[in-house]
Structure 1
Amino acid sequence: MKELSVLNKYFWKYRYRFILGFLFITASNYFAVMSPQVFRYVVGKLQETLPGPHPEAGSQKVNDAILAHFFNWMDHFPYGKMVLVCSIVIIVLALIRGLFMFFMRQTIIVMSRHIEYDQKNEVYNHYQKLDAGFYKTHSTGDLMNRMAEDVSRVRMYTGPAIMYFINLTTLIALCLINMLQQDVKLTLIVISPLPILAITIYFLNINIHKKSTRVQALLSDLTTNAQESFSGIRVIKSYVQEKAILGFFKKSSEDYRRNAVGLAKMEAVYFPSMNLIIGLSTLITVLIGCQIVLHDTTKVGLIVEFVIYILLLIFPVSAIGWVASMTQRAAASQKRLNEFLQQEPAIKDKAETKPAALDGDILFEHVSFTYKNTGIKAMKDFNLRVKKGEKVLILGKTGSGKSTVAHLLLRSFDPDQGNIYVKGVNIKDMPVKELRHNISYVPQDVFLFSDTIANNISFGLSERASDERIHAAAASASIHSEILELQNGYETMVGERGVMLSGGQKQRVSIARALIKEPELMLFDDCLSAVDAKTENQIISHLNKYLSDKTALIITHRIFTVFSFDQIIIIEDGEITERGTHESLMKSGGYYAELYKKQITEA
């Protein structure tokens, strides 16, 4: 219950539904325990018509005021009419009980659906707050499984488990109270198997909890395996690896099946064992009752009442195992959820923040950074100043650390050493949302959502832009004419991750998405690798005009000869090895000059 205690905030939020549900359950069970007392009364009255000893007047204890008045009223009726009226009363009691059970489900189960809705939103919202480093160490399948499968199992606790626990608690309490008031000795004999049941449940639940945790972890692995296979289906097919991938999936599926079957077998012990114990209680009641009746025939009504009580207790006592199983599974799932919910994002706002103003200088001051998940040192004592309106080209080989400049400026990560300033203000002191809102970023790994082209271009805005604005951004990215050639134009669905478009088209849609924001600072991270030279020159020409009054950092592994840069830096192993303008770097004859000559020769 320690893991599940975090759900108390939801029970408090929906406390009125919870309280009403508790009252409806209690009312339902109150009318349920009335029926055995009516049966006892009828049997006792009918026994008066038979030869032999009769129950003494007033020997039948009735502690319920309503039933006491009803029985006093019925004493004046002839036997035939009395049996008819009592039969109708028993039916009415069953109907009233059913009505309250309906209200019980309408409150408790509906409450659990509200909690499920709130919890999924909480988990999803927390996922969005977590930093990029978190997503480098956790698979998408595991994240999806925790939000879907684990939350659903927790709902089984907040709904059915809670409902049946209250139901069995109140019904057992009401039955035992009435039974003890009638015959303490017989009651103790009848319920004697229940401690055995409790011990059985205790030991089974320990193993169920362990197995349930294992099963959930294996389900996450299985979901991850499937998700990666579907996402990479084109690669799988192109390398003819369907059989190998199926083998991996079968192995994961077999591990899950074996553990799930083991859990199911253990849970299967519950119901037979409980039915056995309930059957023993019923048998003991009948046997003891027969012995009592043989010595005292006036106790026939009492034995009938006790047998009905035992029949009433069959479902609630058998539900103990079910409730315990659901609670254990929910605890295992909630523990997995808590691991993420209790994880604080590495990137978050300070208590006091300053407004983000990106219209001034950008300064990297002695910045060093190491990726924690790999241990790769991406930046070493990095220093860079970018003035307002400057265009900076950042060149470097693959793995040199040039993309890390964009990640640190966006605060996807924070540097291990040194600081980054914008207009003299440390970006750690700025609100993260405002900082990113003022930056347009075109990542190296382009991602498009399964939506229309127009909505993908408008993604960074608070609402969809006008058609004219979307078309202008697309034209600046040299994709407008190609979009118009599509059957549905800008309303074309791009498919999952933009699968309906070519690599170059996806890159240009991503550039249009960045341009339409009209920010003060733009970051382009190797975003033209999939376009041909002619299209590249068109885009660069458009960008040259568009970025005339903006600050821009263009990160790439090749030189754009038609673009005029205020400064060019060369990064190697996280350090700046060359810095200057095109003319000065050509004179120095270093890496930049060699790359430029090679590129011109190839052209």
Structure 2
Amino acid sequence: MIKSFIRRYWWMYLMGASFVILVDLLQLVSPRIIGNIIDRLKTGVEDISVLKTSLYAIIGVSLGIFISRFFWRIFIMGSARRFEYYSKKVLFEKLLSLPASFYDRIKVGELMARFTNDVAAVRRAMGPAIVMSVDAIFMTLVTVFAMGSLISWKLTWIVIIPLPPLALISAFFGRLIHTRFKKVQAAFAVMTDSAEESVSGIRVIKSYGQEKSRYEMMYAKSDDYVQKNISLIRVWGMFFPLIQLLASIGYVIAMSFGGRAVITGQLTLGEFVTFTTYLGMLIWPMMATGWLINIIQRGRASYSRLKELLNEETDIITKDPAKVEKLTGDIEINRLTFKYPNSKDAVLKDVYLHIPAGSKIAIVGTTGSGKSTLAKILTRLYPIPEGKVFIDGKDINRIDPAVLRENIAYVPQETFLFSETVKNNIAFGVENASDEEIIRYASIAAIHSDIENDFPEGYETMVGERGVTLSGGQKQRIAIARALLKKAPIVILDDCLSAVDTETELKIISSLREGIDLRTVIVISHRLKAVRDADIIYVLHDGEIIESGAHDTLMEKGGLYKRMYERQLLEEKLEEE
């Protein structure tokens, strides 16, 4: 990520570094002018215009420094901000490309920490650290050369004695800072995830009266973050004073040896003032080294965390892709045994089923039997063995995931709505959807009357974050309308009507049969009454299809389907009483 960015913006860093160097060169001029002024004042000046010229020169140098600093900030700091934008863009594109298995094992707070703290740390390494490194290296070399060539090499070699110990100390503390900052960032990710989870689940927390326990949990994680920061600060707090101590030692050496040289006449007072001014300028690079090591090591630690994300590989691979853009919806699953990544037990076992194009089938069964897994397999959210699942006669592994999902309208169990209007939520993913189309599919999903009569601003009503202002049934029906508006040839409804009553569910499914022609509709439901008019009903139990057929056929068999259906009818009668 950094290499590709530098290849694109290297010239901006080069320009910025040039202006930093120009600032350093200009800074070397003023001490020399001041030293000359002191020597002239000491010996006596006959022409005051000489002093005026020197003062004008100092003003001109200051103006040059002002302009040069402005431009290096534009080039280097501006590039660092561009990197921040670029890195977030690359990271977000990476997140969009990663499979569902990745999101099964990583938390939202962890991702947010990498998008905020980690990116900011790398940005500082790409901005202030670049300035400090160029400034420190060039200023050190040029200042040492100026001190030696213009004043005294002997005195210069003496005062730079603290520099070698500085390099050793920096290397030692750099490793400590790197290790401890990685722990700080990890603790921040845990704390962020807990905060995000608590805010998202605030209604559950309040309904169960768990405010105190969540507060204590958050307090503990925040305290862990603080302690890891304190551990880092201890290292940093020791490192920076050591740098200052070494810088001060150089100053003491200069005063001792330089003062004696002035007394013995080896140096003029002006030369000594120039030398000590240069030494003061040399102290800044020595102190900047401490800041530089800190920023670079933090940036390295954060960049390694970003690279972990960028190095994530998708497990959804399309080999020898078939040339297909539109599917008809003929689906065949041939003896499929499936287990989730990092799982030991198979969720589906030797499953076979055939769904003709344009048919309406239902998948029912006991809890945990693998119904939702079948839906996820058909949308290829997880890797699937070759030669087991076919759509329109083509192995699903040869169909590009983008093409596959374009041809499937999938409504999962967990309905997600965006913080947008009802209209925009229904039209999500469909460009330039007309109001007539939105109303039509909202009517098929049995949500149009609710929108018109119960929502304060109709289709322009804001639903709130994740649809919190709507009931569960309303959210589910809006999600169904959104899927139907897509006009995909395959529609999968994964138990997405659990929050509505049985009669409404039956009405919606009946509307699907009447309102959608030549589409393959797959309904996964735990309510058997709502799917009894399906062309074929597949009954899953413990990952296996144990029964299949139309409703009447399954009732005649007297198996699990009949027992489940009669039990549900009995439960409805008891509820009515």
Q: 1:566 to 1:481 in 2, by over 3 A?
A: same
What are the residue-to-residue correspondences of 1:10-409 with 2, within 5 Å? 10-49=5-44, 78-182=46-150, 183-296=152-265, 298-350=267-319, 352-409=321-378
- Which residue does 1:517 correspond to in 2? 486
Distance in 2 (CA, whole Å) between partners of 1:477 and 1:9 is: 48
Give percent identity, aligned residues only: 38
Paired residue type of 1:139: K
Residues 41-61 of structure 1, C-alpha deviations (whole Å, 9 max, x = no match)? 333434444xxxxxxxxxxxx
Do the aligned residues in 2 keep the contact of 1:157 with 1:330 (CA within 8 Å)? yes
1:416 positional shift: 4.5
- Which residue does 1:419 correspond to in 2? 388
Q: After the TM superposition, which of the residue ranges 35-44 and 484-493 deviates more from structure 2? A: 35-44
Do the aligned residues in 2 keep the contact of 1:522 with 1:553 (CA within 8 Å)? yes
Q: 1:360 to 1:518 in 2, by over 3 A?
A: closer
Do the aligned residues in 2 keep the contact of 1:46 with 1:79 (CA within 8 Å)? no
Q: Secondary structure at 1:377's aligned position in 2?
A: coil
Do the aligned residues in 2 keep the contact of 1:460 with 1:514 (CA within 8 Å)? no
The count of corresponding residues between Structure 1 and Structure 2 is 570
Do the aligned residues in 2 keep the contact of 1:131 with 1:346 (CA within 8 Å)? yes
1:276 positional shift: 2.1
Residues 234-269 of structure 1, C-alpha deviations (whole Å, 9 max, x = no match)? 111111111111111111011111111221232122
- Which residue does 1:53 correspond to in 2? none
Q: Secondary structure at 2:268's aligned position in 1?
A: helix
Do the aligned residues in 2 keep the contact of 1:541 with 1:563 (CA within 8 Å)? no
Q: 1:308 to 1:331 in 2, by over 3 A?
A: same
- Which residue does 1:497 correspond to in 2? 466
- Which residue does 1:54 correspond to in 2? none
Do the aligned residues in 2 keep the contact of 1:208 with 1:263 (CA within 8 Å)? yes
- Which residue does 1:465 correspond to in 2? 433
Do the aligned residues in 2 keep the contact of 1:41 with 1:301 (CA within 8 Å)? yes
Distance in 2 (CA, whole Å) between partners of 1:202 and 1:423 is: 63
Q: After the TM superposition, which of the residue ranges 516-525 and 590-599 deviates more from structure 2? A: 590-599
Gaps of 5+ in 1: 1-5, 50-76
Residues 455-481 of structure 1, C-alpha deviations (whole Å, 9 max, x = no match)? 1101121x2412111111111111111
Distance in 1 (CA, whole Å) between partners of 2:305 and 2:315 is: 20
Q: 1:136 to 1:562 in 2, by over 3 A?
A: closer
Q: Secondary structure at 1:315's aligned position in 2?
A: helix
Distance in 2 (CA, whole Å) between partners of 1:366 and 1:79 is: 104
What are the residue-to-residue correspondences of 1:583-594 with 2, within 5 Å? 583-594=552-563
Do the aligned residues in 2 keep the contact of 1:205 with 1:328 (CA within 8 Å)? yes
Do the aligned residues in 1 keep the contact of 2:532 with 2:551 (CA within 8 Å)? no
Paired residue type of 2:123: R
Distance in 1 (CA, whole Å) between partners of 2:494 and 2:502 is: 17
Q: 1:416 to 1:573 in 2, by over 3 A?
A: farther
Q: Secondary structure at 2:136's aligned position in 1?
A: helix
Q: Secondary structure at 1:444's aligned position in 2?
A: coil
1:284 positional shift: 1.4
Q: After the TM superposition, which of the residue ranges 400-409 and 348-357 deviates more from structure 2? A: 348-357
Residues 427-446 of structure 1, C-alpha deviations (whole Å, 9 max, x = no match)? 11111111101100111111
Paired residue type of 1:108: I
Paired residue type of 2:140: I
Q: Secondary structure at 2:251's aligned position in 1?
A: helix
Distance in 2 (CA, whole Å) between partners of 1:393 and 1:322 is: 65
RMSD value, Cα: 1.7
- Which residue does 1:477 correspond to in 2? 445
Q: Secondary structure at 2:338's aligned position in 1?
A: strand
Distance in 2 (CA, whole Å) between partners of 1:357 and 1:571 is: 30
Q: Secondary structure at 2:187's aligned position in 1?
A: helix
Paired residue type of 2:212: K
Task: Choose from 511, 531, 539 the match for 2:500.
Answer: 531
Task: Choose from 535, 539, 544 the match for 2:513.
Answer: 544
Distance in 2 (CA, whole Å) between partners of 1:114 and 1:427 is: 40
Q: Secondary structure at 1:392's aligned position in 2?
A: strand
Residues 163-194 of structure 1, C-alpha deviations (whole Å, 9 max, x = no match)? 11111222112112212223221111111112
1:277 positional shift: 1.9
Q: 1:197 to 1:79 in 2, by over 3 A?
A: farther
Paired residue type of 1:220: A
Distance in 1 (CA, whole Å) between partners of 2:176 and 2:432 is: 53
1:272 positional shift: 2.2
Paired residue type of 2:32: Q
Q: Secondary structure at 2:409's aligned position in 1?
A: strand
Q: Secondary structure at 1:441's aligned position in 2?
A: strand
1:145 positional shift: 0.8
Q: 1:302 to 1:176 in 2, by over 3 A?
A: same
- Which residue does 1:431 correspond to in 2? 400
Residues 534-582 of structure 1, C-alpha deviations (whole Å, 9 max, x = no match)? 3223212211212342111111122145752221111111111111222
Q: Secondary structure at 1:14's aligned position in 2?
A: helix
- Which residue does 1:72 correspond to in 2? none
Q: 1:561 to 1:588 in 2, by over 3 A?
A: same
Q: Secondary structure at 2:186's aligned position in 1?
A: helix
Gaps of 5+ in 2: none
1:79 positional shift: 4.3
Do the aligned residues in 2 keep the contact of 1:453 with 1:494 (CA within 8 Å)? yes
Do the aligned residues in 1 keep the contact of 2:329 with 2:519 (CA within 8 Å)? no
Distance in 2 (CA, whole Å) between partners of 1:562 and 1:243 is: 45
1:12 positional shift: 1.5
Paired residue type of 1:484: E
1:351 positional shift: 6.3
Residues 493-543 of structure 1, C-alpha deviations (whole Å, 9 max, x = no match)? 111111000011111011111111111000010011110133223212211
Q: Secondary structure at 1:202's aligned position in 2?
A: helix
Do the aligned residues in 1 keep the contact of 2:361 with 2:535 (CA within 8 Å)? yes
Q: 1:558 to 1:583 in 2, by over 3 A?
A: same
Q: Secondary structure at 1:382's aligned position in 2?
A: strand
Distance in 2 (CA, whole Å) between partners of 1:387 and 1:396 is: 21
Do the aligned residues in 2 keep the contact of 1:137 with 1:373 (CA within 8 Å)? no
Paired residue type of 1:28: V
- Which residue does 2:549 correspond to in 1? 580
Residues 268-318 of structure 1, C-alpha deviations (whole Å, 9 max, x = no match)? 223322222222212211221111112225533322211111121232221
